[in-house]
Amino acid sequence: MEPSQTNNEEEEQLITPWEVDAKDGGKIDYDKLIDRFGCQRIDQSLVQRVERLTSQPAHVFLRRNVFFAHRDFAEILDAYEKGDKFYLYTGRGPSSEALHLGHLIPFMYLQDAFKVPLVIQLTDDEKFLWKNLTIEECQRLARENAKDIIACGFDISKTFIFNDFDYVGGAFYRNMVQVGKRVTYNQAVGIFGFTGEDHIGKVSFPPVQAVPSFPSSFPHLFKGKENLRCLIPCAIDQLKDEIKILAATEGLSRRSNEKYGETGKMSASDPNSAIYVTDSAKDIKNKINRYAFSGGQDSVEKHRQLGANLEVDIPIKYLSFFLEDDAELEHIKKEYGAGRMLTGEVKQRLVQVLTEVVDRHRTARANVTEEMVDAFMAVRPLPHMFD
Amino acid sequence: MEPSQTNNEEEEQLITPWEVDAKDGGKIDYDKLIDRFGCQRIDQSLVQRVERLTSQPAHVFLRRNVFFAHRDFAEILDAYEKGDKFYLYTGRGPSSEALHLGHLIPFMYLQDAFKVPLVIQLTDDEKFLWKNLTIEECQRLARENAKDIIACGFDISKTFIFNDFDYVGGAFYRNMVQVGKRVTYNQAVGIFGFTGEDHIGKVSFPPVQAVPSFPSSFPHLFKGKENLRCLIPCAIDQLKDEIKILAATEGLSRRSNEKYGETGKMSASDPNSAIYVTDSAKDIKNKINRYAFSGGQDSVEKHRQLGANLEVDIPIKYLSFFLEDDAELEHIKKEYGAGRMLTGEVKQRLVQVLTEVVDRHRTARANVTEEMVDAFMAVRPLPHMFD
C-alpha cells in the first residue's frame, strides 16, 4: 500500500506503516531506528535465555539476528519464567492469493516453543478501504490466505484466525466501512465541524449512525429485501448530516427517504425545558406554571381585552402535541385567543393532560421486565413484521 | 451534545447535528431550511393521502403540521400504494435515565398505521465518545432507555431495538471505540500521513489493527485473563504506528509488548521481488538466477581472487532465512566469501532449498479443506492453548 503522503518529520528515511525506504535508495540505518523507537537490540544472551526457557534451540531468525530488536521482550520473559503466559498476535492484509514466503515462519516457532496461543487478523477491511476491490473479493482473498496459513502447520488448539469483515461486526460493520469509504475527512468536517484535536473515535462515528438506513445492516430482518426503502422521521437538527452523509453514499444502495418533525425544542440536557417521563404530578405542575412561556397578557383586564398570542404560547404548543381531541384543542385556542380563557386555565388543562400521559407511561414502564428488554433486543427474525 | 466548532458556512443559523439555533436567539426560518435542504412542505393533500392509504386518521403530528417537511415521502407512498413496504429507523443517544416526552410518539403511529417494522438504534457508543462516562454506564443507560421505549407500547413482532456496543461488534468493537477515543486526528495524521481528502474509512481503521493487542477483544479466548501480555512479532515498517497508537492508549490496559523482525524486503506487490508459495520450481529457478542480486565478482577469475561480498548478496540472505543447518550455512558463507564457491553454485543450492519449502507448502495447502478453514476461524474457546 502507498502512504497517503510523505511525512515531513521523516526527512531522511521514509517510514510509514505502508513503506520503509531510505531516501535515494540508501541503506536503512537500523541502529538509528532502534534508538528513535526506544527499542533494544536482540543480543546473544537474550537468545540464549529464550533457548533455556523453551528447552529447545532458538529459531534461525533469532539465532541469525533476522529478529534484531525488541521492546519489553525481556519483561515478557521475566513474567514467563514466573509462570505468566502471553499470547501472540499477527495480521495480514490479504492483497493477493499467493502468500509470499517467510512471513509466518517465526510464529509457528514462537507458538510451539512457548506453548502460547496465536491470533491472526486478516484485514480484509483495510484492503477494501485502500484498494479498488469489492467486499466479497476481499473476504475471498482472506479465506485463500487462511488456507496458506493453515498449510504452514499451525496448531488448531492454539490458533484463532479471523477476518475483520466477519469477526468485527458482520453485516453492520461491512456497511460502516462502505459508508466510511465514501465520505472524505473534509466532507465530515464540513458536516460535523470536527477539529484536528478531536479524537478519531468521533470521526469514525457518522457511519455508525448512517448504516441503519440500509436494510442489509440487519440480515436477521431483511435478508433478500435489500432494496427495501427506509423512512426516517427525525428532527430538523438531524437533517443536515443525514442528507449529506446519505448523498455521499449515493449509489451504495437505493437512497433512503426521510421526513422531518420538529418537536418543540425540548432538550434532555436542560431539566426545566422538558417534561420527563419520570416527573411527578407536582413536578409537571411546577414546570408548566413556572417555566412554560405564556402568550397571555400581563393583567386579566388586558387579557380579556386583547386575548393571548397563540404563536408564542408554550402551553398551546404542548397541548397541540398531547391533546388528541381536535375539537377541544380548537375550542381552547379560540377561547384563549379571544381572551375568554385565562393562561391559568389553559395551563391547568395542560397539566392534566401531561399528568395522564406520564402516569400511563409510569405504570407501563413499571411492568417492563428485564426479560422483555432481552426479547426486544434479541437478534431475531420478525416473521410478522409486515402483517 | 455540543458541536465541535461553529461551522463557517452557517452564518445566520447554527445547524450542526447537535444543535439548532438561530443567531441572537432569533426565530429559525424553516422555509429557508426546507429550501436549502431540498425538502418539500407536508401539505394537507399529503396528509389526506396518508389517511386514505392507512384507512385511519393521521397522527396529530401530521394533522397539526408538527411534521412540516419531507424528502421523497411521496415516493414511499407511491411504492406503498403498489404494495412495496418500507421500514422505519430512529435512534437515541442514551444521555439520561429519563426519556423526555414526545420523541417516540410518532413512530408507534407510523408502525401501526403502515404495518411496517421499526429499528431503534441506541447509540451508547456516541455517548461514550462525547461524554465522560464508562462503556458499562453507557450500556446501562441504553437498557434503561429501552425500557421507556418498550413502555410506549411498541409491537414486539415489528420492533428491533439495539445498542451499538452490543450489536455492532461486541467486545472487539468496544475496544475499537476505546482506542479511537484516545487518538486525536492530528496524532493519526502524524502517524499515517492522512490528508483531508482521504476518506474517513481510512481514519477509522487504525483502532481495528490496534485492538487485537488487548486480550479483552477475544472474550471467547481470554475471558478472565484481561491482563495477559501480548507479543507482536512484526516488521520494522509496522513499528512506528504500533508504538504511537499503543502509547496513546496507555492506561487502557497493560501495555502490549513487541519485538521486531526484518524479513528481507520481500514485497507481495512486486512479483519478482519475492518467492511465492504458488511459484513452480521453474519460477523459482528463474527468479533466483535472473533477479537475486549477487555479491560475487564479474568474472570467475576475479571471483576466485577476491571472493563474494556477502553483505549485499541476496542468495546468502535467503539461505540464512531458509537453510536450517547452521554448519552448512557457515560453510557456504566461508567458501563463497573466499571465492572458492561460485555464485551459480550458491544459487543452485538456494533454488533447491526454496523448491523444497514451496513443494512442502503446496502439498500441505492442497490438503486444507473448507472445513478446516471453518474450524480455524470458528469463534470458539481454546481450552488447551497453554498446554
Query: Which three cell numbers, joined as nine digits, stand for B171?
Result: 467486545
Contact list, A266 vs chain B (CB under 8 Å): 100-102
The region of weakest confidence among A5-19, A194-208, A285-299 is A5-19
**Closest residue to A4, CB basis, from B179, B194, B264:** B194
Would you identify the CATH topology of the domain B87-168?
Rossmann fold (3.40.50)
Position A17 scores a pLDDT of 41
Q: What is the largest CA-CA distance in chain B?
A: 102
Domain B87-168 and domain B281-365, same fold? Reply is no
Q: Specify the higher pLDDT residue, B210 or A103.
A: B210
Closest residue by Cα to residue B256 from B264, B245, B267: B245
- Whether residue B274 lies within 8 A of chain A, CB to CB, comes out as yes
Q: pLDDT at residue B260 above 80? A: no
Question: What residues pair up with A100 in beta bridges, in sequence order?
Answer: B276
Q: Three-class SS of residue B233?
A: strand
Residues 158-187 of A with CB under 8 A from B: 158-164, 166-170, 172-173, 176-177, 179-186
Q: How far apart are CA B333 and CA B337, in angstroms?
A: 6
Q: pLDDT at residue A157 above 60? A: yes
Per-state percent for chain B, helix, strand, coil, to nearest 5:
50, 10, 35
Q: How confident is the model at residue B28 (pLDDT cuts 50, 70, 90)?
A: low
Q: pLDDT at residue A27 above 60? A: no
- Quote the minimal CA–CA distance from A282 to chain B in Å: 16
- Quote the minimal CA–CA distance from B52 to chain A in Å: 18
Query: Which three cell numbers, joined as nine digits, stand for A111?
Result: 507458538
Position B278 scores a pLDDT of 80
Query: Which three cell numbers, joined as nine digits, stand for B6?
Result: 461553529
Mean pLDDT across B153-170: 91
Q: How confident is the model at residue A243 (pLDDT cuts 50, 70, 90)?
A: low
Inter-chain contact A200–B203, Cβ cutoff 8 Å?
A: yes
Q: pLDDT at residue A250 above 50? A: no
Q: How far apart are CA B58 and CA B47, in angstroms?
A: 7
> Averaging pLDDT over each range in A336-350, B106-120, B227-241, B286-300, which range is the top one?
A336-350
Mean pLDDT across A21-39: 63
- Whether residue B277 lies within 8 A of chain A, CB to CB, comes out as yes
Query: A319: exposed, middle or buried (C-beta count within 10 Å: 0-12, 13-18, 19+)?
Result: buried
Contact list, B190 vs chain A (CB under 8 Å): 7, 9
ipTM: 0.80
CA atoms within 13 A on the CB side of B209: 26
In sequence order, the 6+-apart residues with CB closer than 8 A to the CB of B305 are B297, B339
Query: Which three cell numbers, joined as nine digits, stand for B168?
Result: 455492532
- Whether residue A116 lies within 8 A of chain B, CB to CB, comes out as yes
Q: Specify the higher pLDDT residue, A240 or B46.
A: B46
Q: How confident is the model at residue A168 (pLDDT cuts 50, 70, 90)?
A: very high
Q: Judging by DSSP bridges, how do beta strands A229-235 and A257-261 pair with one another?
A: parallel
Please report, for residues A1, B30, B212, B243, B264, the alpha-carbon distance to residue B237 in angstroms, rounded to integers and kept in the order given: 12, 53, 18, 11, 12
What does the CA dihedral A382, B61, A257, B51 come to, rounded to 10 degrees? 80
Ramachandran quadrant class, B115 (left: phi over 0; alpha: psi -120 to 50; beta: rest): left
Q: Judging by DSSP bridges, how do beta strands B19-22 and B13-16 pair with one another?
A: antiparallel
CA atoms within 13 A on the CB side of A160: 25
CA atoms within 13 A on the CB side of A304: 3
- Whether residue B65 lies within 8 A of chain A, CB to CB, comes out as no
Closest residue by Cα to residue B222 from B113, B92, B382: B382
- Quote the minimal CA–CA distance from B36 to chain A in Å: 10
Check residue B367 and report its DSSP letter: T
- Whether residue B196 lies within 8 A of chain A, CB to CB, comes out as yes
Inter-chain contact A364–B152, Cβ cutoff 8 Å?
A: yes
Dihedral of alpha carbons B303, B308, B312, B316, sign: positive
The region of weakest confidence among A195-209, B155-169, B264-278, B346-360 is B264-278
- Whether residue A65 lies within 8 A of chain B, CB to CB, comes out as no
- pLDDT > 90 fraction of chain A, expressed in percent and rounded: 44
User: First and final CA of chain A: distance in angstroms?
Assistant: 50
Q: How confident is the model at residue A41 (pLDDT cuts 50, 70, 90)?
A: confident
Query: Which three cell numbers, joined as nine digits, stand for B331?
Result: 560453510
Q: pLDDT at residue B172 above 80? A: yes
Position B297 scores a pLDDT of 93
What is the residue-averaged pLDDT of chain A? 81
Residue A115 in contact with residue B386, Cβ under 8 Å? yes
What is the residue-averaged pLDDT of chain B? 81
Q: pLDDT at residue A254 above 70? A: no
Q: How confident is the model at residue B117 (pLDDT cuts 50, 70, 90)?
A: very high
Q: pLDDT at residue B248 above 80? A: no
Query: Which three cell numbers, joined as nine digits, stand for A34?
Result: 532502534
Q: Which residues of A110-145 are buried (b: 16+ CB within 10 A; e: fewer)?
A: bbbbbebbbbbbbbbbbbbbbeebebeebbebbbbb
Distance of CA A150 to the CA centre of its chain: 32
Q: How far apart are CA A321 and CA B103, in angstroms?
A: 11
Q: What are A216-236's pLDDT values in tens digits?
A: 999 999 999 888 888 877 766
Contact list, B88 vs chain A (CB under 8 Å): 230-233
Q: Three-class SS of residue A34?
A: helix
- CATH architecture, domain defined by A273-366: Orthogonal Bundle (1.10)
Q: How far apart are CA B60 and CA B114, in angstroms?
A: 16
Position A236 scores a pLDDT of 60
Q: How confident is the model at residue B11 (pLDDT cuts 50, 70, 90)?
A: very low
Position A358 scores a pLDDT of 87
Query: Which three cell numbers, joined as nine digits, stand for B110?
Result: 407510523
Closest residue by Cα to residue B44 from B57, B28, B60, B62: B62
Contact list, A27 vs chain B (CB under 8 Å): none
Scanning B292-387, the segments in alpha helix (DSSP H) are 300-306, 314-322, 326-337, 343-366, 370-377
AA letter at B376: F
- Quote the minimal CA–CA distance from A119 to chain B in Å: 8
Query: A35: exposed, middle or buried (C-beta count within 10 Å: 0-12, 13-18, 19+)?
Result: exposed
- Quote the minimal CA–CA distance from A265 to chain B in Å: 9
Residue B138 in contact with residue B124, Cβ under 8 Å? yes
In sequence order, the 6+-apart residues with CB closer than 8 A to the CB of A77 are A46, A49, A50, A53
Residue A73 in contact with residue B257, Cβ under 8 Å? yes
Mean pLDDT across B220-226: 91
Contact list, A117 vs chain B (CB under 8 Å): 221, 382, 385-386
CATH of region B281-365, choose from 1.10.10.10, 1.10.3720.10, 1.10.240.10, 2.60.40.10? 1.10.240.10
Q: What are A262-284's pLDDT values in tens digits?
A: 333 434 445 566 777 788 899 99
Q: How far apart are CA B103 and CA A264, in angstroms?
A: 10
User: In chain B, where are the structural domains located?
Assistant: 87-168, 175-261, 281-365
Q: What are B97-112's pLDDT values in tens digits?
A: 556 655 666 778 889 9
Contact list, B218 vs chain A (CB under 8 Å): 119, 160
